[in-house]
Structure 1
Amino acid sequence: MPMLPVLPPYADETTVSWGARVARFHTGMTCADFLKMVEIKQAHIMDLNVKTVERLSKFTGVPETQILGGGPQKAGERLLAYKGETFNARFMTRTYTTYCPACLIDDAAAEANGDRVGRLSWMFSTVRVCPRHGILLTRRKNLGYYERFQDMNLVAPEDDFLRKQGAEAERRRVSPLQAYVEDRFSGASGPAWLDNQGIDQASKACEMLGICRLMGADVDLRTPTLAEWDEAGAIGYAAASQGPVGIYSILDEITAPVKARNCWGGPQLVLGRIFKWLQYNKSHTDPGPILDCVREYIVDTMPVDPETVLFGHAIEHRKRHSVPTLAEYSGIHVKTINRAVAVTGLLANVDLEVIDVWRTFDATAGEALADRINRSLPIKSAPEYLNCNRTQAQMLVKCGILKQVAPGLGLHGGVLTQVPLDEIDSFLEAFRSSGRPVTSASKGMMNVIDASEIARETAADIVRMVLDGRLSKVELLNESLRFRSVLVDPDEVYAVANASEDHHGCSVAETARRLGVSTVGVTHLRTKLDETGRPFLQVTEVINARGSVRLRFAVEEIQRFLDIHVSLKDLAKREGVSTKAMSKRLSDRGIEPIMDRVLLRSKVFRRADL
Structure 2
Amino acid sequence: MLFPHLPFDTAEMPISYGNRMSEFHAGRPFPEVLKDIDVLQNDMVAHKPKALERIAQVSGVSIEALRRNTPIPLDHRKYNLRGEIVSAEFLSSPHIVFCPACLLEDDQRGGRRVHWSWGLAVVRTCPRHGDALQHQTATSWNDRLQPLEHLVPERGEALQAIVASRTRRDPSALQNYVLDRLEGRKGPEWLDAQSLEQAVRTTELLGVLLEFGSEQSLPELTPDDWDRAGRTGFTFTAVGEAGILDALQRQFDGFASSRGTPGAQKIFGCFYKALAYSKSLKDPGDVARILREFIWDRIAMPGGTKVLGQELPERRLHTVGSLAQETGHDTRRLYNLLVGAGVVPPGAASHFAIPVGVGRAFAASVQRIVKMTELSQVLNCTRPMVEQLCDERILTPVYYGTPGINGKLQKGVNGDECVAIAAALSAKVTSNEARPSQVPIAKAAEKAKIPAVCVVQLILAGLLRNVARIDDVSGIKGLRVCPFEVKSVARSALRGMTASEAFAALKLTKDAGWELVARYPEEVSLEPHKIVGNRGDRAISRFLPEAIADFDRGFTTLARAAEIHGSGVKELKRSLMKVSLKPVLPWGAVGADIYLVSDIAKVSEAEQHFRLFYGQHMVSEWTKLTAFGKGAHGKSTGYGG
TM-score normalised by length of structure 2: 0.67
Alignment of 1:431 onto 2:391:
no
Alignment of 1:76-475 (within 5 A): 77-112=76-111, 116-147=112-143, 149=145, 151-159=147-155, 162-255=159-252, 258-259=255-256, 261-330=258-327, 332=329, 336=333, 339-346=336-343, 350=345, 352=346, 354-357=347-350, 359-360=352-353, 362-386=355-379, 390=383, 392-405=385-398, 417-435=411-429, 441-442=432-433, 444=435, 450=440, 452-453=442-443, 456=446, 460-474=453-467
Change (3 A) 1:317 1:148: farther
- Deviation, 1:131, is 2.2
Structure 1: which amino acid aligns with 2:162? Q
User: 2: distance between equivalents of 1:371 and 1:416?
Assistant: 19
User: 2: distance between equivalents of 1:413 and 1:68?
Assistant: 79
- Deviation, 1:169, is 2.2
Answer yes or no: is the 8 Å Cα contact 1:47–1:71 preserved in 2: no
Answer yes or no: is the 8 Å Cα contact 1:455–1:494 preserved in 2: no
User: 2: distance between equivalents of 1:260 and 1:489?
Assistant: 55
Structure 2: which amino acid aligns with 1:424? C
Query: What whole-Å deviation, never above 9, does each CA across 1:19-45 have from its counterpart, x for those lacking one?
Result: 222233333443223323333234444
Change (3 A) 1:413 1:369: farther
Query: What whole-Å deviation, never above 9, does each CA across 1:390-410 have from its counterpart, x for those lacking one?
Result: 555444334322222359x99
User: 1: distance between equivalents of 2:171 and 2:420?
Assistant: 67
Change (3 A) 1:187 1:63: same
User: 1: distance between equivalents of 2:101 and 2:381?
Assistant: 94
User: 2: distance between equivalents of 1:97 and 1:207?
Assistant: 21
Identity of aligned residues (%): 26
- Deviation, 1:3, is 1.6
Answer yes or no: is the 8 Å Cα contact 2:438–2:483 preserved in 1: no
Answer yes or no: is the 8 Å Cα contact 1:14–1:70 preserved in 2: yes
Change (3 A) 1:389 1:21: same
Instruction: State the number of aligned residues.
Output: 495
Kindly report the root-mean-square deviation, in angstroms, between the aligned alpha carbons of the 2 structures: 3.9
- Deviation, 1:121, is 0.5
- Deviation, 1:127, is 0.6
Gaps of 5+ in 1: 507-539, 543-551, 555-610
Structure 2: which amino acid aligns with 1:18? Y
- Deviation, 1:381, is 2.7
Alignment of 1:483 onto 2:475:
yes
Structure 1: which amino acid aligns with 2:299? M
Change (3 A) 1:7 1:481: farther
TM-score normalised by length of structure 1: 0.70
Change (3 A) 1:500 1:189: closer
- Deviation, 1:503, is 1.0
Change (3 A) 1:378 1:140: farther
User: 2: distance between equivalents of 1:67 and 1:156?
Assistant: 24
Structure 1: which amino acid aligns with 2:227? D
Change (3 A) 1:317 1:127: same
- Deviation, 1:151, is 4.6
Answer yes or no: is the 8 Å Cα contact 1:447–1:487 preserved in 2: no
User: 2: distance between equivalents of 1:255 and 1:451?
Assistant: 56
User: 2: distance between equivalents of 1:313 and 1:329?
Assistant: 24
Structure 2: which amino acid aligns with 1:62? V
Answer yes or no: is the 8 Å Cα contact 1:338–1:355 preserved in 2: no
Answer yes or no: is the 8 Å Cα contact 2:445–2:455 preserved in 1: no
Structure 1: which amino acid aligns with 2:435? G
Residue 417 of structure 1: SS of its match in structure 2? Answer: strand
The residue aligned with 2:594 is none
**Pair member with larger Rg:** 1
Change (3 A) 1:35 1:378: same
- Deviation, 1:279, is 2.6
